[in-house]
Structure formats: C-alpha cells, structure tokens
Amino acid sequence: MRAEQYKLFQFLKIVILTFVFLTVIVSQGNAQDTLQGKKFTDYNFSRFTHETGLFFVQPVKWKGADWIRFGAIAILTVSIIQVDNDVRKLALDNPKYVNTVPMEIGNQWGGFFLVPISAVALLTHGTLSDNNTTKKLGFEIAQAALYSETISFISKGCIGRSRPFTNRGFNDYKPFTFFDSPQNSFPAGHVDAAFALSTVLAKNTDSGWLKVASYIPAGLTVVSRIYQDEHWASDVFLGGAIGYFVGNWVVNLHEQKESTIELTSVFPLQIKIALN
C-alpha cells in the first residue's frame, strides 16, 4: 500500500507541475520597465539583489494603510488562536480524508518540490529562448517564495510554537528554537509558499476562471495542513496572508510594462499573451 501511495504522490507531482505550466503558456516577447529611476531590461541576478533590498526595507516605508492592514492581520490571527483547539478537534474527528488525493495536492502545491522546480524551469526556458515573459514568471515565483519563506523561517524560529501533533497544546512556545520542525509551527511555511505561487499565477492572468483556479490548490494546502495535524488554524491564516501580500508586492513591482495571460478558448485550450 505504501508503494502504491508513493507512486500516486509522484504522479500527482507531475500532474500539478503540468497544471502550473498550462497556466503560464507564453508567446515570445520582451519587456522592460523602470524601477525607482533604475532601468532594467532583463530578469537577472543584479535585478534580483536590487529588488530584494527594496523588499526588506519596505516596513520602514509603510504608510497608514499598510499599518492598518498589518494590524488587521494581527488581530485576526490572535482571534483565530482562540479557536485553534476547536478547529483541530473538528479535523481529528473526521480522519477518513487524511490521505486522499486533494490533501496530497495541497501538500505538493506548497511543498519543496513544485515551487523551486517551477521557478527554475521557467527561468531556464526564458533564458534559453530569450523570452522575458517566461523569465518574468519564473523570476516572480522565485522572489515571492524566497521572501515569504524567509519571513516564515525567521518567525518560526523566533516564536517556537509547538505543532499540534506534539500534543503540547496551542499555547506551548519555546522561543528561538530554529531547525526543530516540531517546534516550528507558526506561521505555516507550506501555506505561505502555496499562496505566493498562486498569487503570482493569478496576478499574471486576465482570465477570471484562471485566477480562481490558481487559488484552489492553495486552498487545499490550507485544509491539508490543518487536517493532517501539521498546523493550527492560526498558523495557516498567517502563512496565507504572508504569501498573498508578498506575491502581490512582487508582481506589482513589475506590472507597469509586463505581459498578462488571456484565455481565448477552452477546447482546444488556447492562451495568449498581451504585451503592454
């Protein structure tokens, strides 16, 4: 049975990866944009380091609306913590779906296979074919995942919250516990990566149903991490918020003169790129 499950999971990785590329089929094109007076014509390491610097100094540039969003997320997170035990009990009382295909799709979408492979494959294709549109998608996936995972890693280690499966309770904390997975529950790393990926894909399409479809696997990631007793509900809420807002920031940084994906027909599937 374990061998059969392993084969199924490997197959699902291929299926999910295929889904990603169906949403990012692109045509040849080149794009350029100007970022704070600095002109870029390519998505390369120089640009990556420049934008990484911009990202990590953002909090010192926050204005009123940014602090309101931050405060709202903090209040909602604290509120959800109050029902963490209830949500966990509900999940544990209905265990029959733990190892189902939807739950595994959720795990893979936010896992350590899909996101880096997608980013590397798109960046490689864009570089070899001199296609900045493809490269942009890979670049943004890599940025959003790296930035959100950095926030998550630092937060997990500093906060040191116990995962639910340890049975130590939702209020068990051991601050500054790095590289100890059972003590690194808050926020949910799978979920921030899942929402970072979904947000980048959704922001790069004008099709309403493709936007919705991009977030379905991220939703499954949320459910799977709670349902499989890996995270508390508040963990996945904060992780999702991190991934979503980081993904938005990354794409908005490039959106002035970039491409979007337009679905022209479903059968046969045709997706075209409109360059601004």
Q: Are 20 and 201 in contact, with CB atoms under 8 Å apart? A: yes
pLDDT tens-digit readout, 97-132? 888 888 888 888 888 888 888 888 888 888 888 877
Residue 174 lies in a domain: yes
Residue 3 lies in a domain: no
Q: Is 207 exposed, middle or buried (0-12, 13-18, 19+ CB in 10 A)?
A: middle
Q: Has residue 21 got a pLDDT over 70?
A: no
Residue 65 CB neighbours (<10 A): 8
Cα-to-chain-centroid distance, residue 121: 17
* Averaged confidence pLDDT in the chain: 81
Residue 1 lies in a domain: no
Residue whose tokens read 């969003």? 69
Q: Has residue 186 got a pLDDT over 60?
A: yes
Using CA atoms, how far apart are residues 138 and 119, in angstroms rounded to an integer?
A: 4
Give helix then strand counts, H and E, for the chain: 10, 4
Residue 29 lies in a domain: no
How many CA atoms lie less than 13 Å away from 222 in the CB half-sphere? 19
Confidence of residue 17 (pLDDT cuts 50, 70, 90): low
| One-letter amino acid of 75 | I
- List b or e across 30-58, with b for residues whose CB sees 16 or more CB atoms inside 10 angstroms: ebebeeeeeebebbeeebeeebeeebeee
Residue 223 lies in a domain: yes
Predicted model pTM:
0.81
Q: Has residue 143 got a pLDDT over 50?
A: yes
Cα-to-chain-centroid distance, residue 137: 13
Q: Has residue 1 got a pLDDT over 50?
A: no
Domain count for the chain, please give it. 1
**How many residues in total does the chain contain?**
276
Residue 142 lies in a domain: yes
Least confident piece of the model among 115-129, 144-158, 259-273: 259-273
pLDDT tens-digit readout, 70-98? 999 999 999 999 999 999 999 999 888 88
Task: Please name which of 118, 145, 114 lies closest in space to residue 134, comparing C-alpha atoms.
Answer: 118
Residue 263 lies in a domain: yes
Using CA atoms, how far apart are residues 195 and 218, in angstroms rounded to an integer?
A: 6
Q: Has residue 269 got a pLDDT over 50?
A: no
Q: What is the pLDDT of residue 11?
A: 57
The encoded tokens of residue 236 equal 């996945």
Residue 245 lies in a domain: yes
Q: Which domain holds residue 213?
A: 48-275
Q: Has residue 30 got a pLDDT over 50?
A: no
Q: What is the pLDDT of residue 266?
A: 38
Q: Assign 111 to helix, strand or coil.
A: coil
